[in-house]
Structure 1
Amino acid sequence: MSDAAISTTMTFHPRPEGGAPKPWAFPAPERGELPNGLTVLRSHRPGQRVVAVEINLLAPLDAEPEGLDGVATIMARALSEGTDKHDAEEFAAELERCGATLDAHADHAGVRVSLEVPASRLEAALGLLADALRAPAFQDGEVERLVRNRLDEIPHELANPGRRASMALSKELFPAGSRLSRPRQGTQETVERIDAAAVRAFYEAHVRPATATAVVVGDFTGIDLDAALADTLGAWTGSPAAPVRPTPITADDTGRVVIVDRPGAVQTQLLIGRVGADRHDRVWPAQVLGTYCLGGTLTSRLDRVLREEKGYTYGVRAFGQVLRSAEDGSGAALLAISGSVDTESTGPALADLWQVLRTLAAEGLTDAERDVAVQNLVGVAPLKYETAAAVAGTLADQVEQHLPDDFQARLYARLAETGTVEATAAVVNAFPVDRLVTVLVGDAARIAEPVKALGIGEVTVVGG
Structure 2
Amino acid sequence: MTDTAATTGQNADATGKAAGVTSEMQFHPQPQAGPATPWAFPAPERGALPNGLTVLRCHRPGQQLVAVEIFLAAPLEAEPQNLDGVATIMSRAFTEGTDKHSAEEFAAELERCGATLDAFADHPGVRVSLEVPVSRLPKALGLLADALRAPAFADGEIERLVRNRLDEIPHEAANPSRRAAKQLSKELFPASLRMSRPRQGTEETVKNIDSAAVRAFYEAHVRPATATAVVVGDLDGTDLDAVLADTLGEWTGNTAEPRPMTPITADDTGRVVIVDRPGAVQTQLLIGRIGADRHDRLWPAQVLGTYCLGGTLTSRLDRVLREEKGYTYGVRAFGQVLRSAADGTGAAMLAISGSVDTESTGPALDDLWKVLRTLAAEGLTDAERDVAVQNLVGVAPLKYETASAVAGTLADQVEQQLPDDFQAQLYAKLAQTGTVEATAAVVNAFPVDRLVTVLVGDASQIAEPVRALNIGEVTVVTG
| TM interval, short-chain normalised | over 0.9
Secondary structure of the residue aligned to 1:3 is coil
Decide which structure has the larger Cα Rg and report it: 2
Q: Work out the CA distance in 1 between the residues paired with 2:148 and 2:435.
A: 47
Q: Work out the CA distance in 2 between the residues paired with 1:82 and 1:336.
A: 40
Q: Does 1:409 align with 2:424?
A: yes
* AA aligned opposite 2:474: V
Q: Does 1:82 align with 2:97?
A: yes
* AA aligned opposite 1:58: A
Moved over 6 A (4+): none
TM-score, normalisation: structure 1:
0.99
Secondary structure of the residue aligned to 2:259 is coil
Q: Work out the CA distance in 2 between the residues paired with 1:77 and 1:127.
A: 18
Q: Does 1:376 align with 2:354?
A: no
Q: Work out the CA distance in 1 between the residues paired with 2:427 and 2:353.
A: 25
Q: What displacement does 1:328 show?
A: 1.3
Q: Does 1:277 align with 2:273?
A: no
Alignment of 1:336-415 (within 5 A): 336-415=351-430
**CA-to-partner distance for each residue in 1:369-405, whole Å, 9 max, x for gaps?**
0000000000100000000000000000000000000
Aligned to 1:48: 63
Aligned to 1:295: 310
Secondary structure of the residue aligned to 1:456 is coil
**CA-to-partner distance for each residue in 1:318-349, whole Å, 9 max, x for gaps?**
00000111111111000000000011000000
Seq. identity, %: 84
* AA aligned opposite 1:89: E
Q: Does 1:166 align with 2:177?
A: no
Q: What displacement does 1:242 show?
A: 2.1
Q: What displacement does 1:20 show?
A: 3.0
Q: What displacement does 1:21 show?
A: 2.1
Secondary structure of the residue aligned to 1:438 is strand
Aligned to 1:123: 138
Q: What displacement does 1:13 show?
A: 6.1
* AA aligned opposite 1:363: E
Secondary structure of the residue aligned to 2:456 is strand
- The match for 1:3 among 14, 29, 48 is 14
Which stretches in structure 1 are left out of the alignment for 5+ residues?
Answer: none
- In structure 2, relative to structure 1, the CA distance for the partners of 1:309 and 1:238 (3 Å cut) is same
Q: Does 1:62 align with 2:77?
A: yes
Aligned to 1:331: 346
Q: Work out the CA distance in 2 between the residues paired with 1:320 and 1:357.
A: 16
Q: Work out the CA distance in 2 between the residues paired with 1:199 and 1:68.
A: 10
Q: Work out the CA distance in 1 between the residues paired with 2:68 and 2:445.
A: 34
Q: Work out the CA distance in 2 between the residues paired with 1:297 and 1:36.
A: 45
Q: Does 1:32 align with 2:43?
A: no
- The match for 2:248 among 233, 237, 250 is 233
Q: Does 1:153 align with 2:168?
A: yes
* AA aligned opposite 1:3: A
Q: What displacement does 1:251 show?
A: 0.1
* AA aligned opposite 1:197: A
Q: Work out the CA distance in 2 between the residues paired with 1:127 and 1:242.
A: 26
Q: What displacement does 1:181 show?
A: 0.2
* AA aligned opposite 2:431: A
Aligned to 2:231: 216
Secondary structure of the residue aligned to 2:352 is strand
**CA-to-partner distance for each residue in 1:100-144, whole Å, 9 max, x for gaps?**
000000000000000000000001000000000000000000000
* AA aligned opposite 2:288: G
**CA-to-partner distance for each residue in 1:194-239, whole Å, 9 max, x for gaps?**
0000000000000000000000000001100000000000000001
Q: What displacement does 1:241 show?
A: 1.4
Aligned to 2:475: 460
Secondary structure of the residue aligned to 1:190 is helix
Q: Work out the CA distance in 2 between the residues paired with 1:416 and 1:375.
A: 8
Aligned to 2:110: 95
Question: RMSD in angstroms over aligned alpha carbons?
Answer: 1.0
TM-score, normalisation: structure 2:
0.96
* AA aligned opposite 1:339: G
